[in-house]
Structure 1
Amino acid sequence: MFFTFERGCGPRPGSWRRGPFEFRWEVGGRHGGGRRRRMFDGEELRLVLLKLIADQPRHGYDLIRDIEERTGGAYAPSAGVIYPTLTMLDDMGLIEAVSEGSRKEYAATEAGREHLAERADEVAALFERLEALGEERSRVDRAPIRRATANLFSAIQHRLSRDDMAPDLLHKAVSIIDEAAQKIERL
């Protein structure tokens, strides 16, 4: 990920504006890198949900929250994906409702547990993917970086817009920015 700032040009996706400058963050290459990929295909999501339900009876919202927590907030399946998948698992006989009401709780059936046992390696790989995403997310919380960078650019813009910006002050500002960049590189 890297940041750029440009003067003029209108805002683009992955950018924010402060005065006449545009600040843009890019991930995965020069122009944002490839298309966004789904976290799971339909079969993979069924296996993840079945495993979570086999571990402990749950309702849909619990499943959404569990997955979101495992990924550090990077991925949370929508209710529009979870509930139809639960209905499909129920129709397949892999789970069954163990409570009624506004929050229907599901438990794994014997057939569901056998299905998980047959695909244990695949299930383990799916949960490794979830955990890896959560670890990556916890290592790099980008919000403070974006805030600090925006504050720096705002201070630069504010100071440069004043009429009393003498060349020696400009050189001091450049020196401070260069020093900060060098310290960050050495971290």
Structure 2
Amino acid sequence: MRIHHLHHRFCAKHERHERHGLHGGHEHGGMLEGKSRQRRERLFDANDIRLLILHFLSSNTAHGYELIKSIEATAKGEYVPSPGIIYPNLSLLEEMGLIAAVESDSSKKAWILTEEGQALLAEQHDELSHVMTRLESLGVLGDNRRIPEIQRAIHNFKMALNTKLGQSELPKETLYKIIDTLDQAAKDIERS
């Protein structure tokens, strides 16, 4: 049985919170970094996040912050789930009986995987494998985005596009040419 099929009323409540912006989203960096992280957060749905939590709890007891750091480390800093994504899912998994709170040295709540959680994680092995592959690939992609030549090319592209689109009353032929060029560039990059 998949995680997201269990306890629909809990999922619905938490998804309403996410949809209405109650999931946090106030990241450490500036506004642009926050938008970039928001886009990356969409790479993983609630089920993916719950699988990641179960996966990391399968090896160690952890606090929410430690889970965030484990996910961030796996993605080499290219993906950092917000506390507003992690903590509601921890509560949900606890309500579902898949994890349990344990005594901790600090005042923070720590969790451990239950037998039910271990069984579900074993059932979801293939799906977890896909999620982990995506998470790990972000670190590789992030390294490529930092190549100076790539950064320069992206900057030049954005400047040329913004300059052209900022002109008033562009002829339709010019707009169509820009759209065709963008579509073709995207296809060329995907196929390379």
TM over 0.5: yes
What residue identity is the alignment partner of 2:75?
A: T
SS at match of 1:55: coil
Aligned equivalent of 2:74: 70
Instruction: Give me the whole-angstrom Cα distance separating, in 2, the residues matched to 1:144 and 1:89.
Output: 44
Instruction: Give me the whole-angstrom Cα distance separating, in 1, the residues matched to 2:113 and 2:73.
Output: 22
Pairing of 1:78-157 with structure 2 (within 5 A): 78-100=82-104, 101-142=106-147, 146=151
1:139 CA displacement: 3.8
Listed one character per residue, the Cα deviations across residues 112-150 of structure 1 (whole Å, up to 9, x for unaligned) are 000001111001111111111112223442579758x99
Aligned equivalent of 2:50: 46
- Structure 1 unaligned blocks of 5 or more: 1-12, 15-34, 151-187
- Structure 2 unaligned blocks of 5 or more: 1-30, 33-37, 156-192
The structure number with the bigger radius of gyration is: 1
1:83 CA displacement: 0.7
Listed one character per residue, the Cα deviations across residues 16-61 of structure 1 (whole Å, up to 9, x for unaligned) are xxxxxxxxxxxxxxxxxxx946021111110111111112111100
Instruction: Give me the whole-angstrom Cα distance separating, in 1, the residues matched to 2:107 and 2:144.
Output: 37
Pairing of 1:4-23 with structure 2 (within 5 A): none
The TM-score with structure 2 as length reference comes to 0.54
CA distance change for structure 1 residues 144 and 90 in 2, over 3 Å: closer, same or farther? farther
- Runs of 4+ residues deviating >6 angstroms: none
Please state if 1:58 is matched with 2:62: yes
User: Over aligned residues, Cα RMSD in angstroms?
Assistant: 2.8
SS at match of 1:72: coil
Listed one character per residue, the Cα deviations across residues 83-120 of structure 1 (whole Å, up to 9, x for unaligned) are 11100010000000112553211110000000001111
**Identity, % of aligned pairs?**
41
Instruction: Give me the whole-angstrom Cα distance separating, in 1, the residues matched to 2:48 and 2:55.
Output: 11
Instruction: Give me the whole-angstrom Cα distance separating, in 2, the residues matched to 1:59 and 1:85.
Output: 13
What residue identity is the alignment partner of 1:113?
A: Q
CA contact (8 A) 2:145 2:151 kept: no
Higher strand proportion, which one? 1
The TM-score with structure 1 as length reference comes to 0.55
**How many residue pairs get matched?**
117
